[in-house]
A and B are shown apart, each in its own frame.
Chain A
Amino acid sequence: MSEVSRHMSLVVQEQISEVIATGEREVVTPEGVALRFRIAPASARAIAFIIDIFMVVMFSLAFGIVGLTLSFIFDGSDTGAVFSAVTLVSMFLLRTFYFILLEILWRGQTFGKKAMRLRVVDAHGGDLTVGALIVRNLTREVELFLPLVALIVPSTFIPGAPTLVAIFALCWTLLFVLMPWLNRDRMRVGDLAASTMVISEPKAQLLEEASALARGQTQRAKYSFTTEQLDMYGIYELQVLEDFLRQYPSENAMQSVSDKIIAKIAWRGDGAAINARVFLENFYDALRMRREQQLLFGKRQESKKEGSLSDSHG
C-alpha cells in the first residue's frame, strides 16, 4: 500500500458520509470532493456471476480434455480416471482462484463483471487489498454452494444430523443467500467480511452543449424574457427541459410544451405565430443563464412557483 493511498483511506474512513439516495454511496476523496458510486443492482451481479461460472466450467473442461489427450499419447490405460481427476482438480482450483486472481489483476473485475460494467471497490473508497479480495471470494462457498447443496441433497449437508438441526442449518444458509437484500449497500456476506462493495460503472457520455446559442446554430435569441417570467421556473424544470430538448422531440410535443410555458409566464410576442423549437431553445438559454446567475449570489431556486403570472406583466 502506497503512502498516498494509506493516507487517503485513513482520511476517507473518517468521512464516510451517509447514503444520499438508495442505490448510491458517497465517498469523499482526499481532495475533499464527494464522489457518488452507484451500487450495482442484484440482477447485473447475478448475470455477471453466471458468465463467470460458465467460464470456470469451460476452462475446467478444456483442461480435462488436454489431460485426456496427454494420457492417450503417453499411455492408453486409465484415460477416464485421468480425465476426471484433471477436470476435478482444475475445477476446484479454478473455482477457488479464478475470481481472486482476476480481481487482483483487473482491479476488481472478472470476465463477467467486465461484461456487465461492474467493479469491486473498497467500501470506504480505500485501497482494494489482496486480503479483501481473497475473503470476499472464499465466503462465496458458504453463501452459494453450501445452500445449493443443502437445498438439492439435504441429507449430505450434515450427515446423520437430526431433522431439527438440518432445518436450522437450512434457515441459516438462507440467511446468507438473502444478505444482499438485508442491507442498503447490497453487500453479501463476503462483502461485509472484506468491507468491499460492487458498484456499477456505466460510462457517461459528454453530449453536445445543451445551449443552442453556444452551439452557434443561431446568432441571437429571437425571443426574450423578463427576469420575473424566468423566475417562475426553477432548476428542476430547467433540467427537465434540457432532457426534453436532447431527445429530438416532435413538433407537436414542442408546441404543447411551449404553449404551457407561454400560459404560465404570460408571455406575449409580437402576435406572429411562434417557432416552438426556437422558442424552447431561447427559453432554455435564458432560464439557464438566470438560474446560474442567481446561483452565484447563493440563491438556489429548486422548482417552479405555483400559479401563473397575471397578464399585466411581460
Chain B
Amino acid sequence: MNQDVSMIKAAKPVARSVRFRNEREDAWHDLEEIIDQIDSKGIKSVSAQDLNRLPSLYRSTLSALNVARATSLDRNLTRYLENLCSRAYLCVYTSRQKPLGVVWHFITHRLPMAVYAVRWHLFLSTMILFMGAIVAWVMVINEPEAFVTFVDAAYAQGRGPTSTREELRAVLFSGSDFSFGDLSSFSGHLMTHNARIGMMCFALSFAVGLPTLYLLFKNGAVLGAFAGVHSLKGLTVELFSWLLPHGVTEFLAVLLCGAAGFLVAEAILFPGRRTRLQNLAIQGRKAGVVVIGAVGLFLLAGLIEGFFRQSVQSIAARYAMAGYTAIVWFGYFGVLGWWRTRQALPEELEL
C-alpha cells in the first residue's frame, strides 16, 4: 500500500465550489429577476434602485463566472452563469433608445447627413437616369414606334405614339371628375409599387450595382419616351406640369435608392483598407438610412399625386408646387445635411 495515498473523507468538508455557490447565489437570483423584468416589461418598469444595482450585480456575476470556469466542475452552475451573464451583458451594454427620440433624431440628423454623404453617388445615379431619358427621347423623336420598347402597355394607360393630341391632353388634365375611391386605390398602388422598385434598386445592389444601373436607366427611358411622344404633339410643358409636382419628390426617391445601391456596390468593389465584409457593414448602414428616407419620399410623392395633381388643373400652380418641393428638398438634404455634417463629431460621421 502506498504511503502517500490519503483517504478522502467526504464527510467533513464539501467541495470549494459548493461554498462558492452558497455565498453568491442570492446576488445571481437578484440579477436574474431584474433581467427577467427588463425582458418582459421593459426597462421603464424597473425601479431606480434596481437599475442602480444592475451594473455592479452584472460585474460580480461576471467575475463569478470567471471563478466558476476556473474552479468549479458543476456543469449546471457554469452553464447557468454563462447564460445569465450573456443576458445581462446584452442588457447592460446595449444603449436604450426612446422611440420618439430615435425617430426625431433620424429625421433631423441621420437622414440629411446620410443623404449629404452620398451626394456624389446621387449625382452618378442622376446622370444615368438622364442618359436613359435622353437615349429614349432621341429614339422616340426619330422613330415614334420605339415608344413601346421602353414603356409597358399597362403603365402607358393607352397613351402612345398613335394617340392624338387630345387624348394625351385628356390624361394630363384628368381628375376633374373627382372620385375619391379611384384616387385612393390608384395612389395606394402607385405608392407601394414605386417604393418597392426603389427598395429593389438598393437591395439588388449586392450584385455589384448592375441591377441598380439597369433600373435607373430603364426608369429614365420611360420618362424620356413619354417626353418624346408628348413633345411630338407639342405638349412638353403640359406633360411636365403633370409630372413634376409629385415627380420631383418621386424621382429624388428613385435617385436616392440608386445612390444607396451604388454606395453598397462601391463598398463591395473597393473595400480599401478594410475587408469587404467590414466595409459592407459600415457603408450598408449608411445606405439603409438613405433608403428609408427614400421610402418616406415615395409616400409623400404618392400623397401629392393623389390629392394635389388630380384636383389642381392650373399649369402655373402645378409648376409652383414642383418648384416648392424642389426648394424644400434642397434645403432639407443640401443645406441641413451640409450643416449637420459640419457640426457633427467625427464618430457620428462613421455611423
Interface of A with B (CB < 8 Å)?
1-2, 4-6, 8, 27, 29-31, 33, 35-37, 75, 77-82, 84-86, 88-89, 91-92, 96, 100-101, 104-105, 107-108, 119, 121, 125, 127-132, 134-135, 138-139, 141-143, 146, 159, 172, 176, 189, 192-195, 201-207, 209-211, 213-214, 219-221, 224-228, 230, 235, 238-239, 242-243, 246, 282, 285-286, 288-292, 295-296, 313
A168 to B285, CA, bound (A): 28
A50 to B187, CA, bound (A): 29
Does residue B82 face the partner (Cβ distance < 8 Å to A)? yes
A81 to B182, CA, bound (A): 7
User: Which of the candidate stretches B59-67, B160-168, B228-236, B246-254 sits at the interface with the other chain?
Assistant: B59-67
Does residue B53 face the partner (Cβ distance < 8 Å to A)? no
Contacts of A36 in B (CB 8 A): 82, 86
B102, A286: Cβ atoms closer than 8 Å: no
Interface of B with A (CB < 8 Å)?
1-2, 5-18, 21-22, 25, 28-29, 59, 62-63, 65-66, 70-77, 79-80, 82-87, 89-90, 93-97, 99, 102, 106, 110, 152, 179-182, 184-185, 187-189, 191-192, 195-196, 199-200, 202-204, 206-207, 264, 277-278, 280-281, 284-289, 291-292, 295, 347, 351
Contacts of B196 in A (CB 8 A): 92, 141
A243 to B78, CA, bound (A): 13
Counting from the closest, the 5 A-B pairs by CB-CB distance are: A78-B181, A220-B11, A81-B181, A142-B203, A135-B288
Contacts of A207 in B (CB 8 A): 76, 80
The one of B90, B93, B278 in contact with A4, judged by C-beta atoms closer than 8 angstroms, is B93
Given A29-B89, A130-B97, A194-B285, A88–B185 Cβ distance below 8 Å? Answer: yes
Q: Chain A at the B interface: mostly helix, strand, loop or mixed?
A: helix
Query: Closest Cβ of chain A: how far from B261's Cβ, in Å?
Result: 11
A85 to B7, CA, bound (A): 83
Sample 23 A-B pairs with CB under 8 A, ordered by A number: A2-B95, A4-B93, A35-B86, A86-B188, A88-B189, A89-B191, A91-B192, A131-B286, A135-B285, A146-B203, A146-B204, A192-B280, A193-B288, A194-B285, A195-B281, A213-B14, A224-B8, A282-B10, A285-B14, A288-B15, A290-B8, A291-B73, A292-B15
A94 to B80, CA, bound (A): 38
The one of A131, A159, A230, A295 in contact with B73, judged by C-beta atoms closer than 8 angstroms, is A295
Contacts of B29 in A (CB 8 A): 206
Contacts beyond the supplied A5-B93, A131-B286: 5 A-B pairs with Cβ under 8 Å: A81-B184, A82-B181, A88-B192, A141-B196, A224-B10
